[in-house]
A = this chain, B = another copy of it.
Amino acid sequence: MRIVIVGGVAAGMSAASRAKRQNPRAEVVVLERGEWISYGACGLPYVLGGEVRDWDALVARTPEQMRGQGIGLRLQHEVTGVDAKGGTVTVLDRVKGRTGTEPFDRLLIATGVSPILPDWARTDLHGVHVLRDIPDGQAIEASLKRARRVCIVGGGYIGIELAEALRSRGLSVVMLEKAPDIAGRALDAGYRKRVQDELEKHGVDVRTGVTVEGLTGKAGGVTGVQTDAGLVRADAVIVAVGVKPNVELAQAAGARVGKTGAIAVNNRQETSVPGIFAAGDNCESIHRVTRRKVHVPLGLTANRMGRVAGVNMAGGEAHFPGIVATGIFKFFGLGAARTGVTQAEADHLGLKAVSVDVSSTDHAGYYFDASPIHVRLTAEKGTGRLLGAQLVGCRESIKRVDVVAALLHSRGKVQDLAEMDLAYAPPFSSVWDVLLVAANRLSRQVGSG
């Protein structure tokens, strides 16, 4: 049994480890086009911000450790083609510049996503960046040494995390967002506003509804961003307008790509081509609340898909349970979290949803360091089925989104949440945890739909 894995970051390395554990006699080969494996890509902004010591700290397992597990690891090996029927991949050794083929019994495509690069960003100017991997981060680090003013294009998770990192280095930061709000894909309008307010409070110049038209440069370096609202001067520009799944290899193998644009897989992480699996950010998954296929590339999902693929490729049986689209991000003193669907998403999908908003304190208001927390809870009218939650509050308080995520998994109702015996003591919670307050209010509203 020869298992070939394309891509050595989250899904790929999880799959390799799990395959080897499942079937120690299987030959497991990982082909990674870069020099880094098994690193926490979600930590990239925090190396730039100084909250993480250095790039090496992001690495969960080193090449030596993986090889010690008996995994055949080849760095700087890029897979450029696949022959599904013949059971081979074409591999370019980027160091030696040589191309060869590798046979496989099972193939895993764990090639992740690439940052979307608008036409205006396809440039030779120095100082224009994306942030996908460690070399990208190192390039940004180098640019920042000469920069005083940085323009971040895009107000999603990564843009927001980068804004905090750059401000903590004392840089001027302008954030440009085409949509009317930042964090627009994650949160409903009122909650987006809280994110923007916090960014502005910490000196980020947030400009929304602005379309980028091009870049200006001088002596080979970027000097500004040309927009429909004028020129924004910048010594460095980071493009964080979204990602697209890397599906080319899957398509070359004849595997189906779903309507989401990501690779279609079943719950064993098999593509439509027998023997070829896919896992990680390049895959669709099932949203357990809406029962629809979605593409939500996130770290835990990628790791979990990788494990499932690893077990199955090695002859075991594992299933990916789907997601409830839980997300969380930090921005200066606050954090935001969401799970399930927002009211806007529910409306878009034609679900009859109703939401309540509750503002309270993260723990007993009389205990000295209580801080505000804002919760939106969303349920289906009539049935009371929970659909989602959004939280904005201090960093310590918003992991409680997981309680709602847990209930979404079991298709729980808002009445169920209202009855939960949640932990209470003054330093930890109000006697009625804000989630219970929200559930109590919402349970009175869903019936009258």
Which residues of A does B touch, CB under 8 Å?
10, 40, 42-43, 46, 50-53, 57-58, 157, 288, 298-301, 303, 321-330, 335, 337, 339, 364, 366-369, 395-396, 398-403, 405-410, 412, 416-417, 419-429, 431-433, 436
Can you give 11 A-B contacts (C-beta < 8 A)? A40-B426, A42-B364, A42-B426, A300-B422, A300-B432, A328-B425, A328-B428, A395-B427, A403-B403, A409-B416, A409-B420
The reply to whether A425 and B364 contact each other, CB–CB distance below 8 Å, is: no
Report the minimum CB–CB distance from A55 to chain B (whole Å): 10
Contacting pair B300 A426 (CB below 8 A):
no
| A427 and B364 within 8 A (CB) | no
Indicate if the CB atoms of A364 and B40 lie closer than 8 Å: yes
| With known contacts A46-B367, A51-B368, A422–B396 Cβ distance under 8 A | no
Q: In the complex, how many angstroms separate the beta carbon of A389 from the nearest chain B beta carbon?
A: 11
Contacts of A409 in B (CB 8 A): 416, 419-421
Q: Is the CB of A420 within 8 A of B396?
A: no
User: Could you say which residues of chain B place their CB within 8 Å of the CB of A401?
Assistant: 423
Measured CB to CB, the closest approach of chain B to A371, in angstroms, equals 12
**What is the distance, in angstroms, from A4's C-beta to the closest C-beta of chain B?**
24
Q: Give which listed residue, B300, B400, B419, B425, contacts A42 with CB less than 8 A.
A: B425
The reply to whether A367 and B300 contact each other, CB–CB distance below 8 Å, is no
- Rounded to whole angstroms, the CA-CA distance of A29 and B421 in the bound complex is 29
Chain B CB within 10 Å, residue with most, of A53, A300, A335, A436: A300
CB pair B339–A423 under 8 Å, yes or no, is yes
With A40-B431, A401-B423, A407-B410 given, name 10 new contacts (CB 8 A): A40-B366, A46-B427, A321-B419, A326-B422, A328-B423, A328-B425, A398-B423, A399-B428, A406-B422, A409-B420
Chain B residues, Cβ within 8 Å of A327: 423, 425
State whether A423 and B52 are in contact (beta carbons under 8 Å apart), knowing that A406-B407, A431-B40, A431-B300 are contacts in the complex: no
The answer to whether B367 touches A52, judged by C-beta atoms less than 8 angstroms apart, is yes
A424 neighbours in B (Cβ, 8 Å): 42, 298-300, 326, 328
CB–CB B399/A429 < 8 A: yes
Q: Which residues of B contact A364 (CB under 8 A)?
A: 40, 42-43
Residue numbers in B under 8 Å from A403 (CB-CB)? 402-403, 405-406
CB distance from A411 to the nearest CB of B (A): 10
Of B42, B330, B410, B420, the contact of A405 (CB 8 Å cutoff): B420
B432 touches A53 (CB 8 A): no
CA A407 to CA B422, docked complex, whole Å: 11
Residues of chain B within 8 A of A157, CB atoms compared = 425
A308 CB, nearest partner CB in chain B, Å = 11
Q: Is the CB of A422 within 8 A of B405?
A: yes
Contacts of A367 in B (CB 8 A): 43, 46, 51-52
The closest CB in chain B to the CB of A391 belongs to B423
The one of B57, B323, B425, B431 that contacts A366, using a Cβ cutoff of 8 Å: B57
Distance of A408 Cα from B419 Cα, bound (Å): 12
What is the bound-complex CA distance between A93 and B301, given in angstroms? 65
Tell me if B406 and A52 are in contact (CB < 8 A): no
Neighbouring B residues of A330 by C-beta, 8 Å: 425, 427-428
Give the Cβ gap from A59 to chain B, nearest Cβ, in Å. 9
Docked complex Cα distance between A226 and B298 (Å): 61
A330 to B429, CA, bound (A): 12
A323 to B420, CA, bound (A): 8
Which B residues are CB-close (under 8 A) to A323? 421
Give Cα A432 to B303, complex, Å.
8
Report the nearest B residue to A426, measured CB to CB: B43
Report B-chain residues with C-beta under 8 Å of the C-beta of A53: 366, 368
> What are the 6 tightest A-B residue pairs by CB atom distance, in nearest-first order?
A396-B396, A328-B423, A321-B419, A57-B366, A330-B427, A406-B406
Q: Is A427 touching B335 in the complex (CB atoms < 8 A)?
A: yes
Determine which residue in A51, A369, A420 has the highest number of CB atoms from chain B within 10 A of its CB, and name it.
A420
Q: How far is the CA of A395 from the CA of B367 in the complex (A)?
A: 14
Inter-chain contact A422/B402, CB cutoff 8 Å: yes
A329 lies within 8 A of B425 (CB): yes
Q: Are B423 and A337 in contact (CB under 8 A)?
A: yes
The answer for the CA separation of A364 and B436 in the assembled complex, in Å, is 28
